[in-house]
Chain A
């Protein structure tokens, strides 16, 4: 950690840990409901749990991205953050809006549009808050001593994410139009600009952790985000197959979605290749494991499992079934949850001055959460495929099929328990690392427990 204002990231990451833990609780509520034990029906009915679960995910990932940006941008641009106080205000405001929204969900106050359930008045507050964040980051980049590709990709990713929130607010009376714009936000976020953010964070981590030359890493960053947009933008078409939009989307969406795994495969190969190529053995092996793990599992979850039901002929039967939940869980975990956790694993020793990355708990967190998530994905896959065959292919009654697949939700709950143990260990390491007190002195062992030679590339750039 070279700049005092980078320390703000810790508060964002601490918020992530809190929101993520809460997200898991709501996941269990839904898992039990699906298994036939909707015991909280009168307090937290399924739709409340569902909206809370997904919105907490979006919230903690965004907070994680913000924290990552507040850490990365000063270091890349070689100056203190423009307005550190604004970052704190903005985090507080974001959490306040989020908590209000989630409390609202428990009182039947929402917009009821999948993933964008936040009530309209709060939407405007989100926009204002994100603009404050963008202004802070933008001003820092603009006034920085250098402009790196990593910082620019990160900045534009965040800026576009903020702008793409707006189409979701266009009012309409037609459900088809409503869905059309909703996917502009949701799809162009997760299969578009969020990948810019993820790519930039990944390249920052790879530069720091592997010691491979910045020019090489950033060149590949361009190629990968190039493939992402080449496939991802028109790949939005896979949401436009069956919602009342023209038939040509079946072809456009089918072809371009089929290319989406290429971008993710590229990302995985790139991360593995850089990790191997790096001559430097960075002491924080856990951070590298999370980074490479992120690239690999995002290929499996977002790329491969996404492709598994994105062809129109297949999607005709899997659209609106638990197969989507299978893909969704591993895609978000691999691509976005893991990149934020990688960033936390990397920065924590610098932010707090305590290096716990060698501890058993750190290793346990990585393996247990990943094995747990893979098992969860398998449970969803079995439930989803069974649902597709019985309900969509054989024409059996919805509720009869749901009873038939209850058993797989017990499998899911077991897998999720394993996952929770892993995340529990991660949070435990976070708590034990303590408050942000790391010293801000380049090269000093306590400020940079992560190997002093790291400064080399900052100096030559």
Chain B
């Protein structure tokens, strides 16, 4: 059996070798991080976004690169998934964007703050994370994905947050399957411009949509029969 001095030698040599290897790998990693994280894309705005991300402890509920708390959605690809319009809306009045759901803190962000945070998310979404976050392997098949592609961008990024279509999307509001048979174009147009005007007390927020987007959505939803 080992003597105490042999045990000590095992500890010291093992630790020493591992520490040297670890420091070596760290040096190598730092030489590769700039390319992998597109370090040159870190503008002043991205930096400010990161500062805001930290000074408000966003990681205390959300995850970014899978790191943080598990109370609110993962935000690595949020720019691609939700788009700038939605993110800005969320940062302005979170409770309106997810009515009656798990609450996010309301912050008094200036327009510049919001731009900085959007820039930060946009940068984060472009970092090569070795395949994270994964595409759900058991999600409904390719036919579904093809259907998704016919959806207008604003629908995919904004409407699906709360509403589902063909089984994909949120469950905060009602499903939009067959909405075209229930509601006509005029109603949809009025509804999307200002929901509370049509139905006072509705939980659906007035979204910052352009006229072109509203027309696009009216056509798209009208076709859902």
Do A and B interact with each other, yes or no?
Answer: yes
Q: Which A residues contact B (CB, under 8 angstroms)?
A: 30, 33-34, 36, 38, 41, 45-48, 50-51, 105, 108, 110-114, 117, 149, 173-180, 215, 218-220, 222-223, 225-227, 229-230, 233-234, 236, 240-250, 252, 316-317, 319-322, 324-325, 387, 391-395, 397-400, 402-403
Query: When chains A and B are docked, how far (Å) is the Cα of A252 from the Cα of B25?
Result: 10
Partner of B10, one of A47, A105, A108, A226: A226
Q: Is B102 a contact of A38 with CB atoms below 8 Å?
A: yes
Interface stretch, picked from B133-141, B187-195, B198-206, B209-217, is: B133-141
Residues in A whose Cβ lies below 8 Å from that of B223: none
Q: Is A393 a contact of B7 with CB atoms below 8 Å?
A: no
> Contact flags (1/0) for B1-24 with A, using CB distance below 8 Å?
011100110110011001101100
Partner of A51, one of B4, B28, B60, B129: B60
Partner of A397, one of B14, B72, B169: B169
Query: When chains A and B are docked, how far (Å) is the Cα of A320 from the Cα of B70?
Result: 7
Q: Is A110 a contact of B102 with CB atoms below 8 Å?
A: no
Partner of A395, one of B4, B28, B136: B136
Query: When chains A and B are docked, how far (Å) is the Cα of A149 from the Cα of B26?
Result: 31
Residues in A whose Cβ lies below 8 Å from that of B197: none
Q: What's the least CB distance linking B198 to chain A, in Å?
A: 25
Query: When chains A and B are docked, how far (Å) is the Cα of A110 from the Cα of B8?
Result: 42
Q: What's the least CB distance linking A419 to chain B, in Å?
A: 20
Q: Is A225 a contact of B69 with CB atoms below 8 Å?
A: no
Residues in B whose Cβ lies below 8 Å from that of A249: 25, 29
Q: Is A233 a contact of B170 with CB atoms below 8 Å?
A: no
Query: When chains A and B are docked, how far (Å) is the Cα of A177 from the Cα of B45?
Result: 18
Q: Is A241 a contact of B101 with CB atoms below 8 Å?
A: no
Residues in B whose Cβ lies below 8 Å from that of A149: 4, 8
Query: When chains A and B are docked, how far (Å) is the Cα of A114 from the Cα of B72?
Result: 15
Query: When chains A and B are docked, how far (Å) is the Cα of A215 from the Cα of B98?
Result: 63
Given contacts A48-B60, A223-B2, A229-B18, 19 further A-B contacts (CB under 8 A): A46-B60, A47-B105, A108-B55, A112-B54, A114-B67, A220-B7, A226-B7, A226-B15, A229-B15, A234-B22, A245-B32, A245-B36, A246-B32, A248-B25, A320-B63, A394-B138, A395-B140, A397-B170, A399-B171
Q: What's the least CB distance linking B56 to chain A, in Å?
A: 6
Q: Is B65 a contact of A244 with CB atoms below 8 Å?
A: yes
Counting residue pairs across A and B whose Cβ atoms lie within 8 Å, the total is 212
Q: Is A229 a contact of B14 with CB atoms below 8 Å?
A: yes
Q: Is A173 a contact of B29 with CB atoms below 8 Å?
A: no
Q: Counting chain B CB atoms within 10 Å of each CB, which of A244, A247, A393 scores highest?
A: A244
Residues in B whose Cβ lies below 8 Å from that of A180: 26, 29, 33
Q: Is A173 a contact of B171 with CB atoms below 8 Å?
A: no
Residue of A nearest to B140 (CB): A395
Q: Is B139 a contact of A395 with CB atoms below 8 Å?
A: yes
Partner of A399, one of B22, B29, B101: B101
Residues in A whose Cβ lies below 8 Å from that of B132: 241-242, 316, 319
Q: Is B57 a contact of A47 with CB atoms below 8 Å?
A: yes
Residues in B whose Cβ lies below 8 Å from that of A321: 70
Q: Is A320 a contact of B74 with CB atoms below 8 Å?
A: yes
Q: Is B61 a contact of A242 with CB atoms below 8 Å?
A: no
B42 within 8 A of A: yes
The answer to whether A176 and B37 touch (CB under 8 A), given A34-B71, A393-B138, is yes
Residue of A nearest to B25 (CB): A252
Tell me if A's interface is mostly helix, strand, loop or mixed.
Answer: helix
Q: Is A320 a contact of B66 with CB atoms below 8 Å?
A: yes
Q: Is A393 a contact of B136 with CB atoms below 8 Å?
A: yes
Residue of B nearest to A178 (CB): B50
Q: Is B171 a contact of A108 with CB atoms below 8 Å?
A: no
6 contacts between A and B (CB under 8 A): A47-B57, A176-B37, A229-B15, A233-B22, A244-B127, A245-B32
Q: Is A243 a contact of B67 with CB atoms below 8 Å?
A: yes
Q: What's the least CB distance linking A403 to chain B, in Å?
A: 8
The answer to whether A226 and B11 touch (CB under 8 A), given A47-B57, A173-B42, A243-B65, is yes
Q: Which B residues contact A (CB, under 8 angstroms)?
A: 2-4, 7-8, 10-11, 14-15, 18-19, 21-22, 25-26, 28-30, 32-33, 36-37, 39, 42, 46-47, 50, 53-61, 63-74, 98, 101-103, 105, 124, 127-140, 164, 168-172
Partner of A176, one of B127, B131, B137: B127
Q: Is A316 a contact of B14 with CB atoms below 8 Å?
A: no
Q: Is B25 a contact of A33 with CB atoms below 8 Å?
A: no
Residues in B whose Cβ lies below 8 Å from that of A179: 65, 67
The answer to whether A222 and B105 touch (CB under 8 A), given A112-B60, A316-B132, is no
Query: When chains A and B are docked, how far (Å) is the Cα of A50 from the Cα of B7?
Result: 41
Q: Is A222 a contact of B11 with CB atoms below 8 Å?
A: yes
The answer to whether A244 and B128 touch (CB under 8 A), given A393-B136, A394-B138, is yes
Residues in A whose Cβ lies below 8 Å from that of B133: 320, 392
Residues in A whose Cβ lies below 8 Å from that of B60: 46-48, 50-51, 112, 117
Q: Is A215 a contact of B67 with CB atoms below 8 Å?
A: no
Residue of A nearest to B164 (CB): A397
Q: Is A222 a contact of B8 with CB atoms below 8 Å?
A: yes
Query: When chains A and B are docked, how far (Å) is the Cα of A219 from the Cα of B11?
Result: 10
Query: When chains A and B are docked, how far (Å) is the Cα of A241 from the Cα of B59?
Result: 19
Residues in B whose Cβ lies below 8 Å from that of A400: 170-171
Query: When chains A and B are docked, how far (Å) is the Cα of A180 from the Cα of B65?
Result: 12
Residues in A whose Cβ lies below 8 Å from that of B30: 177
Q: What's the least CB distance linking A428 to chain B, in Å?
A: 32
Q: Is A397 a contact of B42 with CB atoms below 8 Å?
A: no
Q: What are the 3 closest A-B residue pairs judged by CB atoms, nearest first?
A: A47-B60, A395-B136, A320-B66
Query: When chains A and B are docked, how far (Å) is the Cα of A402 from the Cα of B74?
Result: 13
Query: When chains A and B are docked, how far (Å) is the Cα of A117 from the Cα of B58?
Result: 11
Q: What's the least CB distance linking A99 to chain B, in Å?
A: 18
Q: Is B33 a contact of A393 with CB atoms below 8 Å?
A: no
Residues in A whose Cβ lies below 8 Å from that of B36: 176, 244-246
Q: Is A112 a contact of B55 with CB atoms below 8 Å?
A: yes
Query: When chains A and B are docked, how far (Å) is the Cα of A86 from the Cα of B137?
Result: 59
Q: Is A250 a contact of B57 with CB atoms below 8 Å?
A: no
Query: When chains A and B are docked, how far (Å) is the Cα of A112 from the Cα of B60?
Result: 7
Residue of A nearest to B135 (CB): A395
Partner of B61, one of A47, A105, A226: A47
